[in-house]
């Protein structure tokens, strides 16, 4: 790797203790050194300028530095790694050929698209929405935006038109890049048709152009002059594109994520700190080496795809696999077959996938070799020790370390994770903070907890990959993350610290549900449900789910005169699927004659959570409710259903 000295890729237990102590004693020196791992057009002389105090709030990293992220991910590798595969594309259908895209080819493709975007009037600071399947062009699109200083907003291909429209409207995108269709597990997804439907919705008329990648070759409706075929516009462009000089604090991308209230918020990451952090963590957590074949199974529509398929690996000159498909198509050995086919050494996936595959037994795994594997990772939700052990013993043949990486869209990169050579792993624990990261636990009053303790997870000081704002709503950023516990970044997660100082994430403590590693805001699902004309009120909570980690339980109160029925239940499910997307589909809809409320009218979600969990003996004090009888009837119905 180009930058192995900043810090050593292989961090041993002794290195860790020393590096950690140094990093928190002198963060300027530490992060100044780490910043040398990327190529700057103008090297920063400032490292950090940070205050979490809301009266004097600021987060700036490497403030006078200048760089271009695409140059770091492409140009700087051309001399030494021009012919090395940057990406290996494995299509949904295994009978179709895989594609190897070298750094040189990726560079040319990014430059062509960068020129095309400029030709179409996209300028530095303009927003571009990307709604693509997991194909090489998704990476090309992100890097082409970075090259010309446009801010990308990738929208996960599973989101419905309403969600696309909301995201386009929020950031005022000028251009959308999509494909005719996506393919997942043999099923076609009508991406272009979804974009058409989104652009017919309110608030989306900022979009001037839609570029359409020909992927499946399906016929789509092209609306001229708005819609243009990607190849027709891009292929004729020059393969050299002058990169935009970006200040370290210029925006790189917006990525929407769900919170406890309201609509998803546009998490904004900037260029310098984010790139330094993504590349640093990718190298040290995965113990990256030059000949690794690295595969992260996430979609580029999520932060994991941004940081650990695109920016981290490519900044490090690694070979990253881009997988279009799903773990159970054409059969449940697909992951392991892909690992053997491409000799994958580093494999990074979500606990939900591990649990689903564990259910299928060992044979689909043990019938494959997996001899190339060197390290396994997980992300997105707590991993139960049983799934951890199966991953370790069966998938990794008990010889590959596991990194259980805790982080968030907001953090830009991994904050808490075992390092592969720095200690004894504990199944289910994300263990220790990376050097430079200062987690802490607080009680409900914000008092710091020492030693062995359980509380709310906060971070005491900034790190370069931290989000800088909620796009277009800076007060929401400060309110959400810095007001609950003044002077600290609040993660929204509960956490336990054991006697060894290792961290065990227990899950969200706010109104966010983590379904198969995807964040779903209860408020969003509720608003989709009350969009149905028959619904008076809805309250949504999470409950423990064997495969998904958490499932979605919706309590729905119908308007007077509307009768519950299976048909109505299907209509409500449809409201959520079309309002948000299939990932937010409620697992259960319970008809509720009323909802438990305080006398001031606030819904008591704590009680609903207990009912959904079936823990009705732990309902706690219900005497403050306006109508305690409501709870009895909900418990009785839940038991009956
Ligand atoms: O609750 C934590 C959980 O996922 C949340 C962040 O979700 P998102 O922003 O979508 O990013 C997911 C990928 C980074 C966190 O607040 N989470 C993430 N990783 C872990 C985790 N919970 C437990 N263990 C993890 N390793």
pLDDT in tens, 138-174: 999 999 999 999 999 999 999 999 999 999 999 999 9
| Residue whose entry in the numeric block shows the structure tokens 């690694």 | 318
- What the block records as the tokens of 520 is 């779903």
CA angle 123/220/571 to nearest 5° reads 100
Which ligand 1 atom is nearest residue 414's CA? 14
What's the maximum distance between 2 C-alpha atoms anywhere in the chain? Answer: 73
The pLDDT, as a whole number, for residue 13 is: 85
According to DSSP, the residues that pair with 508 across neighbouring strands are 493
Residue 638 has pLDDT above 70, yes or no: yes
Contacts of residue 85, Cβ cutoff 8 Å, sequence gap at least 6: 100, 101, 102, 103, 319
Is the predicted pLDDT of residue 476 greater than 60, yes or no?
yes
User: What is the 381 CA–ligand 1 centroid distance (Å)?
Assistant: 5
Three-state DSSP class for residue 168: helix
> Contact 321/295 with Cβ under 8 angstroms?
yes
pLDDT number for residue 5: 40
For 56, the 3-state DSSP assignment is helix
Residue 34: per-residue pLDDT: 97
**Residue whose C-alpha is closest to residue 611's, from 561, 570, 553:** 553
Atom 22 of ligand 1 has which residue's CA nearest to it? 381
Q: How many angstroms is it from 613 CA to the middle of ligand 1?
A: 21
Residue identifier of the C-alpha nearest atom 4 of ligand 1: 380
Rounded CA-CA distance 422/14 in Å is 8
- Segment of 31-35, 614-618, 624-628 carrying the highest mean pLDDT: 31-35
Residue 6 has pLDDT above 60, yes or no: no
pLDDT at 82: 98
Q: Is 307 in the pocket of ligand 1 (CB under 6 A)?
A: no
Q: Which two tokens stand for residue 407?
A: 């982080």
Looking at residues 96-116, what average pLDDT do you find?
98
Cα 572 to Cα 586: distance, rounded to the nearest angstrom: 9
Tokens describing residue 311: 């920016």
The response to whether residue 456 sits with its C-beta less than 6 Å from ligand 1 reads no
| CA-based end-to-end distance of the chain | 57
Q: Give the DSSP letter of residue 603.
A: B
Whether 581 contacts 158, CB under 8 Å: yes
The verdict on whether residue 381 carries a ligand-binding annotation is yes
Q: Which of 277, 36, 271, 302 is nearest to 148 (CA)?
A: 271
Distance 407 CA to ligand 1 centre (A): 5
CA separation for the pair 227, 177 (Å, rounded): 10
Kindly report the pTM of this predicted structure.
Answer: 0.96
E-assigned strand segments in 68-221: 85-90, 99-102, 127-131, 151-154, 175-179, 182-184, 187-189, 209-213
Measured at the CA of 243, the angle between CA 115 and CA 72, to 5 degrees, comes to: 125
ipTM for this prediction: 0.99
Percent of the chain scored above 70 by pLDDT? Answer: 98
Q: What is the arithmetic mean of pLDDT over 467-471? A: 98
Cα dihedral 395, 187, 258, 446, rounded to 10, equals -10
Please return the burial class of 125, using the count of CB atoms within 10 Å of its CB with bins 0-12, 13-18 and 19+.
Answer: exposed
Predicted confidence band at 122 (pLDDT cuts at 50, 70, 90)? very high
Q: Write the residue with the smallest CA distance to atom 8 of ligand 1.
A: 408
Residue 2 has pLDDT above 50, yes or no: no
Q: Is residue 267 very low, low, confident or very high in pLDDT (cuts 50, 70, 90)?
A: very high
DSSP β-ladder status, 512-515 and 518-521: antiparallel
CB 407 near ligand 1, within 6 Å: yes
Helix or strand or coil: residue 483?
coil
Are the C-beta atoms of 536 and 522 separated by less than 8 Å? Answer: no
The protein residue with its alpha carbon nearest to ligand 1, atom 5, reads 408
The percentage of the chain sitting over the pLDDT mark of 90, rounded to a whole number, equals 90
Q: What is the pLDDT of residues 277-303, one digit of tens each?
A: 999 999 999 999 999 999 999 999 999
What's residue 261's pLDDT?
Answer: 81
Instruction: Report residue 1's pLDDT band, with 50, 70 and 90 as the boundaries.
Output: very low
**Per-chain mean pLDDT for the chain:** 95
Residues 572 and 538: beta-carbon distance below 8 Å: no
The pLDDT tens digits of the residues spanning 534-579 come to: 999 999 999 999 999 999 999 999 999 999 999 999 999 999 999 9
Token pair 């290195």 is found at: 15
By alpha-carbon position, which residue is closest to atom 7 of ligand 1?
A: 408
Q: How many CB atoms lie within 10 A of CB 387?
A: 21
Residue 187 assigned to a binding site: yes
Place of tokens 């900034």: 462
Provide the pLDDT for residue 7: 52
Which of 159, 297, 408 to probe ligand 1 with, by most ligand atoms within 8 A of CB? Answer: 408
- Contact (CB, 8 A) for 610 and 189: no
Give the model confidence (pLDDT) of 220-235 as tens digits.
999 999 999 999 999 9
Ligand 1 centroid from CA 380, angstroms: 4
Per the omega criterion (within 30 degrees of 0), is the bond before 477 cis? Answer: no
Locate the DSSP E strands across 219-374. Answer: 227-229, 246-247, 251-257, 265-270, 293-296, 319-323, 346-349
- Residue 205: DSSP 8-state: T
What is 510-521 written as a DSSP string? Answer: SSEEEETTEEEE
Of 641 and 184, the one with more pLDDT: 184
Phi, psi of 72 (to 5 degrees): -70, -30
Separation of 514 CA from ligand 1 center, angstroms?
A: 8
* Cα–Cα dist 323/605, whole Å: 39
Q: pLDDT tens across 309-361, in order?
A: 999 999 999 999 999 999 999 999 999 999 999 999 999 999 999 999 999 99
Q: Does 28 score more than 90 pLDDT?
A: yes
Q: Which residue's alpha carbon is at the smallest distance from atom 24 of ligand 1?
A: 382
How many angstroms does the Cα of residue 572 sit away from the middle of ligand 1?
Answer: 28
Residue 1, token pair as written in the block = 């790797």
Q: Which residue has the tokens 């109508």?
A: 627
pLDDT at 612: 95
Among 282, 505, 511, which residue has the most ligand 1 atoms within 8 Å of its CB, making it the best to mutate? 505
Gap between the Cα atoms of 345 and 353, Å rounded: 18
Confidence at residue 9, expressed as pLDDT on a 0 to 100 scale: 59
On the question of pLDDT at 4 being above 50, the answer is no
């Amino acid at each position: 790797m180009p930058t192995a000295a900043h810090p050593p890729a292989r961090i041993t237990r002794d290195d860790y203790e020393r590096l950690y102590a140094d990093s928190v004693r002198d963060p300027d020196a530490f992060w100044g050194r780490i910043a040398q791992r990327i190529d700057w057009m103008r090297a920063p002389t400032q490292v950090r300028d940070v205050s979490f105090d809301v009266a004097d709030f600021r987060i700036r990293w490497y403030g006078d530095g200048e760089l271009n992220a695409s140059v770091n991910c492409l140009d700087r590798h051309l001399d030494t790694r021009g012919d090395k595969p940057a990406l290996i594309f494995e299509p949904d259908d295994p009978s179709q050929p895989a594609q190897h895209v070298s750094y040189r080819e990726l560079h040319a493709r990014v430059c062509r698209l960068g020129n095309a975007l400029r030709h179409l009037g996209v300028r530095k600071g303009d927003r571009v929405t990307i709604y693509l399947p997991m194909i090489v062009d998704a990476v090309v699109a992100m890097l082409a935006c970075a090259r010309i200083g446009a801010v990308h907003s990738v929208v996960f291909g599973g989101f419905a038109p309403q969600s696309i429209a909301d995201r386009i409207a929020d950031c005022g995108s000028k251009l959308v890049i999509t494909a005719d269709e996506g393919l997942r597990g043999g099923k076609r997804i009508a991406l272009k048709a979804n974009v058409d439907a989104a652009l017919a919705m309110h608030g989306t008329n900022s979009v001037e152009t839609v570029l359409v990648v020909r992927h499946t070759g399906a016929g789509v409706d092209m609306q001229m002059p708005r819609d243009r075929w990607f190849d027709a516009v891009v292929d004729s462009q020059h393969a050299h594109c002058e990169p935009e000089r970006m200040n370290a604090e210029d925006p790189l991308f917006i990525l929407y994520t769900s919170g406890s209230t309201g609509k998803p918020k546009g998490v904004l990451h900037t260029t310098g700190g984010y790139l330094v952090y993504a590349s640093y963590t990718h190298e040290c957590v995965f113990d990256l080496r030059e000949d690794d074949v690295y595969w992260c199974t996430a979609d580029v529509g999520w932060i994991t795809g941004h940081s650990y398929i695109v920016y981290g690996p490519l900044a490090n000159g690694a070979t990253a696999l881009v997988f279009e498909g799903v773990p159970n198509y054409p059969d449940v050995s697909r992951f392991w077959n892909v690992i053997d086919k491409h000799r994958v050494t580093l494999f990074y996936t979500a606990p939900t996938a591990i649990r689903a595959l564990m259910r299928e037994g060992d044979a689909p795994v043990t019938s494959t070799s997996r001899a190339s594997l060197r390290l396994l990772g997980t992300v997105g939700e707590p991993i139960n020790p049983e799934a951890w052990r199966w991953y370790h013993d069966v998938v990794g043949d008990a010889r590959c370390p596991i990194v259980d990486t805790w982080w968030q869209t907001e953090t830009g990169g991994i904050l808490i994770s075992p390092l592969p050579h720095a200690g004894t792993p504990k199944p289910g624990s994300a263990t220790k903070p990376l050097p430079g990261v200062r987690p802490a636990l607080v009680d409900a009053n914000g008092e710091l907890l020492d030693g062995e303790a359980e509380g709310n997870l906060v971070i005491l000081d900034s790190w370069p990959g931290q989000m800088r704002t909620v796009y277009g709503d800076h007060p929401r950023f400060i309110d959400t993350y810095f007001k609950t516990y003044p002077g600290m970044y609040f993660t929204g997660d509960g956490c336990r610290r054991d006697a060894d100082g290792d961290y065990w994430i227990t899950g969200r403590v706010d109104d966010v549900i983590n379904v198969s590693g995807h964040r779903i805001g209860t408020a969003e699902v509720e608003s989709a449900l009350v969009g149905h004309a028959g619904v008076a009120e809805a309250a949504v909570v999470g409950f423990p789910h064997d495969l998904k980690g958490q499932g979605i339980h919706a309590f729905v109160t119908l308007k007077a005169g509307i009768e519950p029925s299976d048909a109505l239940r299907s209509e409500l499910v449809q409201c959520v699927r079309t309002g948000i997307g299939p990932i937010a589909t409620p697992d259960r809809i319970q008809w509720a004659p009323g909802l438990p409320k305080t006398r001031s009218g606030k819904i008591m979600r704590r009680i609903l959570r207990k009912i959904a969990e079936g823990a009705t003996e732990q309902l706690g004090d219900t005497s403050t409710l306006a109508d305690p009888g409501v709870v009895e009837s909900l418990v009785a119905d839940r038991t009956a259903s």
